[in-house]
Amino acid sequence: MSQVSIEQDAIEDIAGGEFERTPVPTSKLKGWKSFIGMYAGEHAAGTEFMIGPLFLTAGVSAFDLIIGLLIGNLLAVLSWRFLTAEIAVKNRLTLYYQLEKICGKKLVTGYNLANGILFCFLAGSMITVSATAVGIPFNMPMPKLDDTLPNGMTWVIIVIVIGAVISLIAARGYDTVTKAANWMSPIIVLAFIACGIVALSQLGVDSFSKFWDIWGEGSAPFPGQTKFTFWHVVIWSWFANGAMHIGMSDLSVFRFAKEAKAGWATAAGMYVGHYMAWIAAALLYAVYIQSPEALSYLNNGQAPPVAPGPMAYNAIGVLGIIAVVLAGWTTANPTIYRAGLAFQAILPKLSTAKVTILAGTLATIAGLFPAFAMKLLGFVALYGFILAPFGAIIVFEHFFHKKAGIIKNYAEAANLSFSKSVFWAWAISFGLFYFISIQFDVFLSFVTLPAWLLCGLLFLIFSKYFQNKKN
């Protein structure tokens, strides 16, 4: 081993061994099994206990949900496989370091800060989900669909304890995150299946026709909720993880893959989690909304609360509590890990463990406020819309830089700290389509793809202009 290699290994050990600013070496690459476990664990997880019921509050029909999710999740898998994984195995860099090479240090600092904070909010919503299960033995009042603030000291204590445990697991690095997911995911998947079967029994469903009679045509949305159609389901499910696939955040995960084919492993998350688990969780809520408590809310013009812990407990008892707790963990763990990487790009002198603890602390604070979980459909749409266009910068440069006649990683090559090409491409695409969404009341997920495409195209045009101008 050369002296350079020895020094590099020492640097990586100091940084936590996560290769934040160097390509992942061949010796650290992982097979497809690691990714199946991680994606199945992450996506058959806490968000599923929230999103499934929230579809019902949006009045979605059975056909729109079943077929819409089938198509939307396929589009998500294809995005991971042919965009994210393809680029990740070529460069083997984190999203944050890759963007720094293209955008410059100053510009990417703002992106990393926004990305890390949004990740923390998402992880916080999963801590909220776990807390609804842990609070059952303590007779803790559950948060309502329109709640924003903590509803008592019991809630605060439970959230803080859960957040601390999750943060410590995430701080131990990628290997610990994947091991935790591999251990927990089979339990969670079995629990979702059991919940769905029990819920069907509780609804008196023993044939598809009865299922269709109960749910088939959907309903009017609950008070304060948006009505979801077939296209809402397709587009929303495609871009529910838009920041991760077309937004390239999972470059940080797939840089450890031996081959781009590992991108197919995301299907384990999409069809076990975003398909089976969403439908199973929706069935749990279908049982609840027939209860006297839920009917009293509806009769008063209010939306019944969505509390995953009690719903799962009602179906499968103590196993339901355990499943909801673990489900929250398996989503929050990798999310906090990703947030830590974002913060480390801003604070490179801090170790992976320290920045992950920082991210976990912010996530725990966010978890105290139920609004992040209760408004998850809207938050996820906004989150993807803000971050996904930055992924277009990487994608369009990777695939089209030669045809466009631009220099790859120009900020690094020209020693730029702020890329005007990237800034104006994102600002124009974001501003234009956000205005359209607000002005014409267009669901935000519907304009995510147009904003992504426009951002990538403008980046090529502006890069050509500014690079020729400088030369």
Q: List per-block mean pLDDT (blocks of 10 residues) for the chain, which spans 471 residues.
A: 32 44 74 79 75 87 90 97 96 87 90 86 88 86 81 90 84 64 75 90 82 71 82 94 91 90 93 89 87 84 82 87 80 78 79 84 92 82 91 96 93 92 96 96 94 98 89 61
CB 234 within 8 A of CB 72: yes
CA angle (151, 154, 155) in 5-degree steps:
50
Give the contacts of 28 (CB within 8 A, at least 6 positions apart).
19, 256
Q: How far is the C-alpha of 335 from the C-alpha of 106, rounded, in Å?
A: 24
Q: How far is the C-alpha of 87 from the C-alpha of 82, rounded, in Å?
A: 8
Alpha-carbon distance values, 56 to 62, 126, 310, 414 (Å): 10, 19, 17, 52
Relative orientation angle of helices 62-79 and 278-288, to the nearest 10 degrees: 150
pLDDT of residue 411: 93
- Candidates 247, 235, 232; CA nearest to 79 is 247
> What pTM does this model have?
0.83
CATH class, 35-375 region: mainly alpha
Q: How far is the C-alpha of 4 from the C-alpha of 240, rounded, in Å?
A: 43
CA angle (84, 361, 135) in 5-degree steps:
100
Cα 292 to chain centroid distance, Å, stands at 34
Tokens (6 digits) for 192: 């979702």
Phi-psi region of 207 (alpha: psi -120 to 50; beta: other; left: phi over 0): beta
pLDDT of residue 22: 72
